[in-house]
Chain A
């Protein structure tokens, strides 16, 4: 010992760091990623690879050359954004479209706000929605997937897209949903972006994050509850026009959105009640967009809309302070 270090208390720190939390999120997403690889084959690997690589590279370039600050890529948050963006895109997306998505996610939604912690909207979702609006053809058509091990997968539009089209042509929901078997929805996909492929893999990741205390379950659970309840009411009133709760829970990236996008620290409220209101808002808006909007899948929009309300929710809902009314 040569010199004593003097610094204020506390003198020890928990093992948590931004990097360790983000690493946990990546670990939680792995089952779904692997599932999507098996399902969609090398083209999905390419989409994921391009997405993650461009997000990390862009963050590095922007911090180093534009902001001239120490690089933040070691915190792995760009990797998380990359994986989420990848999971949100169809496996058929051309690499340059993926890259544009990454530019919007990292370059616009994250770094222009000042980097990690400063952004209002979830970067991966901003990227996805931008692509959805700009390149609708790439984003909504799904071709017959060639699984990694030659697994059979189902072709056609996404379940929600198919039903919306079917309704326009006058068919009833019962006829349309009869084609889907819920076991398929839970274990394997019926067309859709990669992240929609395996509900169970996503849910396993969510449970992992809750057990590791990375996230708290309130937001996700209130989204699920609200979606189920709203769908139950509408479907109960008119089953020919509206899809039911189980169908709505299992399709359209709801699980991916509720477990991994709505729970993003930066863009969700911190307090318990703020989180519950946030979740209820997302669930309700999702269902309204699905039932009455022009996009079949409303989760992304619903989350982005509720992201905008977070600063207000954080102002209104505070922790209960010790010994104060």
Chain B
């Protein structure tokens, strides 16, 4: 049993990886896709096509709207029908490029063969540029543009790349399937990342509930023979896949409040991102599809699907037999951090990792009762916060004390609410408080900057 894990808090929900045995299937093309302009952290992309234009698969259709932003490519071939707001998963209107699908014609220069390309180009600058042009973003949840992470600010030095294969959220199995079926590509992607960051060692972290993946990746690494890449089996614990927790678990270094992983010499990339890096650099293939799990005990047709970005959720669900009768909640992502889907007409994003169906019994919250001061929320908090205290301060609107007690450090992992026997909506309350505290901190910084400039 592996002992590698993060040092504070955490919970052990049942892992429910019921779709682990489903090999990745290719989803047939939807008649229409909708590509959201803002599907990464940072500025929304700016469209570079017009209504009526013919596009091919992999052709850029929107360019970055800033340094922290990303290209968006057409995931299908066809005609641009509209560039207009469309309700997203939560029902909030977002600018989308609508493309009516006609055939499946790929842009020139993209290598669609299955041949594994192991020779890595030498020019690191060119590699990062390729990754940028391919619109690669972090697929582990935060969708942070990958090329930004690979361009550390001057003065900081990367000492280790961590490939996050923990998949610690219950139900999700897409990373597991990618490791099993495209392990070679992931390893080449990892080798590329390690070379770009100056030949630093690279650790692929996989939780021990996926022993096949650990064994398979060790074998692949041995076979491909890149230097400095290794697998680290991790103890099962949520939220191990959270960036700060994973760095703590692998390197025993804690990223400070408000700081970036690079401040302790770490760069973390998800398994899916490593695959996207391989595709971008070795195959010239931009990020136009990703693997997602469709799962839940009440869903008979479990699947791991390779889906073109922008495919309507409803199309995916209908392909697999429709929303099950007893499902009351459909979630984009895992049950701990995923978002409840309000609008099934919305489309997938680059970072969509799963569609999960939960029944009333599995998901409905019990009514809130009084805090019994059991401390279970504090024991569970991986950031070492005291959720019972934060929720009390938040209800009293005590901003100063909230900041002192580090409400802004909350990673919204949900461990506190998951553990609270009194069913107090701790995270709901803390999430709001965190937003307010971060706002206050930012306002203060802006005011300080303005004052400094005025002098």
A residues contacting B by CB (< 8 A) are: 1, 3-14, 16-18, 20-21, 72, 75, 77, 114-118, 265-266, 270-271, 318-324
Given the known inter-chain contacts A118-B370, A266-B372, please indicate yes or no for A21 contacting B421, CB distance below 8 A: yes
Bound-complex Cα distance A241 to B373 (A): 41
Contact in complex: B330, A4 (CB < 8 Å)? yes
B residues contacting A by CB (< 8 A) are: 8, 11, 13, 90, 170, 244, 248, 254-257, 259, 323-331, 335-342, 344, 358, 360, 362-366, 369-376, 378, 381-386, 388, 406, 409, 412, 414, 417-419, 421-423, 427-428, 431
Bound-complex Cα distance A16 to B372 (A): 13
8 Å CB contact of A12 from B13, B412, B431: B13
Contact in complex: A324, B406 (CB < 8 Å)? yes
Contact in complex: B342, A13 (CB < 8 Å)? no
Contact in complex: A320, B384 (CB < 8 Å)? yes
Contact in complex: A14, B8 (CB < 8 Å)? no
Look across to chain A and name the residue whose beta carbon is closest to the beta carbon of B375.
A270
Look across to chain B and name the residue whose beta carbon is closest to the beta carbon of A2.
B328
Instruction: Name the A residues within 8 Å of B428 (CB-CB).
Output: 8
Instruction: Name the A residues within 8 Å of B360 (CB-CB).
Output: 5
26 contacts across the A-B interface (CB closer than 8 A): A1-B325, A1-B327, A5-B364, A6-B329, A7-B329, A9-B414, A9-B427, A10-B414, A14-B418, A16-B419, A17-B421, A18-B369, A18-B422, A72-B369, A266-B373, A270-B373, A270-B375, A270-B378, A271-B375, A320-B8, A320-B384, A321-B384, A323-B256, A323-B257, A323-B259, A323-B409
Contact in complex: B257, A21 (CB < 8 Å)? no
Contact in complex: B256, A17 (CB < 8 Å)? no
Bound-complex Cα distance A72 to B370 (A): 9
Q: 7 closest pairs, A vs B, by CB?
A: A10-B414, A270-B375, A323-B254, A321-B384, A117-B370, A265-B374, A16-B421
Instruction: Name the A residues within 8 Å of B257 (CB-CB).
Output: 321, 323-324
Bound-complex Cα distance A197 to B424 (A): 39
Contact in complex: B409, A321 (CB < 8 Å)? yes
Bound-complex Cα distance A319 to B421 (A): 20
Instruction: Name the A residues within 8 Å of B364 (CB-CB).
Output: 5
Look across to chain B and name the residue whose beta carbon is closest to the beta carbon of A318.
B386
Bound-complex Cα distance A9 to B338 (A): 6
Bound-complex Cα distance A300 to B365 (A): 38
8 Å CB contact of A322 from B330, B371, B383, B431: B383
Contact in complex: B371, A117 (CB < 8 Å)? yes
8 Å CB contact of B378 from A11, A21, A118, A319: A319
Instruction: Name the A residues within 8 Å of B344 (CB-CB).
Output: 4
CB distance from B277 to the nearest CB of A (A): 28
How many CB-defined contacts (below 8 Å) exist between A and B?
Answer: 152
Instruction: Name the B residues within 8 Å of A321 (CB-CB).
Output: 257, 383-385, 406, 409
Contact in complex: B419, A322 (CB < 8 Å)? no
Given the known inter-chain contacts A16-B419, A270-B378, A320-B8, please indicate yes or no for A9 contacting B370, CB distance below 8 A: no
Look across to chain A and name the residue whose beta carbon is closest to the beta carbon of B170.
A12
Bound-complex Cα distance A114 to B370 (A): 10
Instruction: Name the A residues within 8 Å of B337 (CB-CB).
Output: 9-10
Instruction: Name the A residues within 8 Å of B422 (CB-CB).
Output: 17-18, 117
Given the known inter-chain contacts A14-B419, A319-B384, please indicate yes or no for A6 contacting B340, CB distance below 8 A: yes
For B385, B419, B422, the residue with the greatest tally of chain A CB atoms inside 10 Å of its CB is B422
Bound-complex Cα distance A202 to B36 (A): 62
Contact in complex: A9, B362 (CB < 8 Å)? no
Contact in complex: B340, A7 (CB < 8 Å)? yes
Instruction: Name the B residues within 8 Å of A266 (CB-CB).
Output: 372-373
Bound-complex Cα distance A16 to B90 (A): 30
Given the known inter-chain contacts A18-B369, A265-B372, A320-B8, please indicate yes or no for A4 contacting B329, CB distance below 8 A: yes
Instruction: Name the A residues within 8 Å of B421 (CB-CB).
Output: 16-18, 20-21
CB distance from B294 to the nearest CB of A (A): 15
Bound-complex Cα distance A83 to B199 (A): 65
CB distance from A117 to the nearest CB of B (A): 4
Look across to chain A and name the residue whose beta carbon is closest to the beta carbon of B415.
A10
Instruction: Name the A residues within 8 Å of B369 (CB-CB).
Output: 18, 72, 75, 116
Look across to chain A and name the residue whose beta carbon is closest to the beta carbon of B325.
A1
Contact in complex: B340, A117 (CB < 8 Å)? no
Instruction: Name the A residues within 8 Å of B388 (CB-CB).
Output: 270
Given the known inter-chain contacts A4-B328, A321-B409, please indicate yes or no for A10 contacting B427, CB distance below 8 A: yes
Instruction: Name the B residues within 8 Å of A72 (CB-CB).
Output: 369-370
Bound-complex Cα distance A77 to B370 (A): 12
Instruction: Name the B residues within 8 Å of A6 (CB-CB).
Output: 90, 329, 340, 342
Given the known inter-chain contacts A1-B328, A18-B422, A321-B409, please indicate yes or no for A13 contacting B365, CB distance below 8 A: yes
CB distance from A324 to the nearest CB of B (A): 6
Contact in complex: B376, A16 (CB < 8 Å)? yes
8 Å CB contact of A10 from B342, B406, B418: B418
Given contacts A8-B340, A75-B369, 8 further A-B contacts (CB under 8 A): A1-B328, A9-B339, A9-B427, A12-B362, A16-B421, A115-B370, A117-B372, A323-B409
Look across to chain B and name the residue whose beta carbon is closest to the beta carbon of A269.
B375
Bound-complex Cα distance A325 to B43 (A): 34
Bound-complex Cα distance A118 to B8 (A): 28
Contact in complex: B256, A13 (CB < 8 Å)? no
CB distance from B241 to the nearest CB of A (A): 14
Given the known inter-chain contacts A4-B340, A319-B385, A321-B406, please indicate yes or no for A10 contacting B375, CB distance below 8 A: no
